[in-house]
Amino acid sequence: MLYMIENKYTPELLTGHFDDLRKAEYDMLRDSYRTGKMLRIWRKASGEGAIIIVDLPSPEAVRDWLASIPMVAGFSEIKVTPLSCNPQFKGMDRPDSADRIAETIGDTAAKTGEV
Protein backbone atom coordinates (compact mmCIF):
# COMPACT_ATOMS: atom_id res chain seq x y z
CA MET A 1 0.00 0.00 0.00
CA LEU A 2 1.18 3.52 -0.70
CA TYR A 3 1.68 6.01 2.12
CA MET A 4 2.66 9.66 2.11
CA ILE A 5 4.93 10.66 4.97
CA GLU A 6 5.33 14.33 5.72
CA ASN A 7 7.85 15.39 8.29
CA LYS A 8 9.15 18.56 9.83
CA TYR A 9 12.85 18.45 10.50
CA THR A 10 14.33 20.19 13.54
CA PRO A 11 18.10 19.50 13.62
CA GLU A 12 18.41 20.82 17.18
CA LEU A 13 16.67 17.65 18.36
CA LEU A 14 19.49 15.42 17.12
CA THR A 15 22.13 14.02 19.39
CA GLY A 16 25.27 12.47 18.00
CA HIS A 17 27.57 13.35 15.17
CA PHE A 18 25.50 14.99 12.43
CA ASP A 19 27.71 13.97 9.49
CA ASP A 20 27.63 10.30 10.54
CA LEU A 21 23.85 10.38 10.94
CA ARG A 22 23.40 12.11 7.59
CA LYS A 23 25.55 9.52 5.78
CA ALA A 24 23.75 6.62 7.50
CA GLU A 25 20.39 8.13 6.53
CA TYR A 26 21.47 8.64 2.93
CA ASP A 27 22.60 5.02 2.72
CA MET A 28 19.38 3.74 4.32
CA LEU A 29 17.16 5.80 1.99
CA ARG A 30 19.14 4.73 -1.10
CA ASP A 31 18.65 1.11 -0.06
CA SER A 32 14.93 1.75 0.51
CA TYR A 33 14.69 3.25 -2.97
CA ARG A 34 16.62 0.38 -4.54
CA THR A 35 14.35 -2.21 -2.89
CA GLY A 36 11.13 -0.39 -3.81
CA LYS A 37 10.12 0.58 -0.28
CA MET A 38 10.60 4.30 -0.91
CA LEU A 39 9.24 5.48 -4.25
CA ARG A 40 9.89 9.23 -4.12
CA ILE A 41 11.23 11.86 -1.76
CA TRP A 42 10.95 15.63 -2.03
CA ARG A 43 12.49 18.25 0.20
CA LYS A 44 10.07 20.97 1.22
CA ALA A 45 10.98 24.31 -0.37
CA SER A 46 11.09 25.81 3.13
CA GLY A 47 13.90 23.37 3.99
CA GLU A 48 11.97 22.25 7.06
CA GLY A 49 11.34 18.65 6.13
CA ALA A 50 10.37 16.27 3.38
CA ILE A 51 7.50 14.50 1.67
CA ILE A 52 8.15 10.79 1.14
CA ILE A 53 6.06 8.23 -0.75
CA VAL A 54 6.60 4.66 0.41
CA ASP A 55 5.14 1.35 -0.67
CA LEU A 56 4.85 -0.81 2.43
CA PRO A 57 2.40 -3.56 3.38
CA SER A 58 0.93 -2.10 6.58
CA PRO A 59 0.87 0.80 9.04
CA GLU A 60 3.15 -1.27 11.29
CA ALA A 61 5.66 -1.61 8.46
CA VAL A 62 5.57 2.19 7.99
CA ARG A 63 6.17 2.66 11.73
CA ASP A 64 9.10 0.24 11.65
CA TRP A 65 10.53 1.85 8.52
CA LEU A 66 10.32 5.30 10.10
CA ALA A 67 11.96 4.03 13.28
CA SER A 68 14.90 2.77 11.19
CA ILE A 69 15.68 6.24 9.77
CA PRO A 70 18.92 7.36 11.45
CA MET A 71 17.84 11.01 11.76
CA VAL A 72 14.26 10.32 12.90
CA ALA A 73 15.04 11.93 16.27
CA GLY A 74 15.28 15.22 14.36
CA PHE A 75 11.69 14.96 13.11
CA SER A 76 9.58 17.24 15.28
CA GLU A 77 6.42 16.31 13.37
CA ILE A 78 5.49 13.22 11.37
CA LYS A 79 2.22 12.80 9.50
CA VAL A 80 1.42 9.54 7.68
CA THR A 81 -1.42 9.41 5.15
CA PRO A 82 -2.50 6.17 3.41
CA LEU A 83 -3.05 6.73 -0.31
CA SER A 84 -5.34 5.06 -2.80
CA CYS A 85 -5.65 5.39 -6.55
CA ASN A 86 -8.11 7.94 -7.86
CA PRO A 87 -10.74 5.85 -9.68
CA GLN A 88 -10.76 8.31 -12.60
CA PHE A 89 -7.04 7.71 -13.16
CA LYS A 90 -6.73 3.95 -12.85
CA GLY A 91 -3.31 2.65 -13.75
CA MET A 92 -1.57 5.85 -12.66
CA ASP A 93 -0.94 4.78 -9.08
CA ARG A 94 2.76 4.02 -9.50
CA PRO A 95 5.66 6.40 -10.17
CA ASP A 96 6.37 4.93 -13.59
CA SER A 97 2.71 5.18 -14.67
CA ALA A 98 3.20 8.51 -16.43
CA ASP A 99 6.16 7.08 -18.35
CA ARG A 100 4.16 4.01 -19.39
CA ILE A 101 1.22 6.18 -20.48
CA ALA A 102 3.51 8.53 -22.41
CA GLU A 103 5.12 5.55 -24.15
CA THR A 104 1.69 4.17 -25.04
CA ILE A 105 0.56 7.54 -26.39
CA GLY A 106 3.84 7.86 -28.31
CA ASP A 107 3.50 4.36 -29.75
CA THR A 108 -0.09 5.04 -30.82
CA ALA A 109 0.84 8.38 -32.35
CA ALA A 110 3.77 6.81 -34.21
CA LYS A 111 1.51 4.09 -35.65
CA THR A 112 -1.07 6.61 -36.79
CA GLY A 113 1.46 9.15 -38.12
CA GLU A 114 0.55 11.80 -35.54
CA VAL A 115 4.10 12.25 -34.22
Domain range list for the chain: 2-84, 85-115
Mean pLDDT in order along the chain per 10 residues (115 residues) = 92 81 93 95 92 95 94 91 83 59 52 49
Q: What is the CATH number of domain 2-84?
A: 3.30.70.1060
Distance in angstroms (rounded) separating the CA atoms of residues 42 and 4: 11
> Whole-model pTM?
0.74
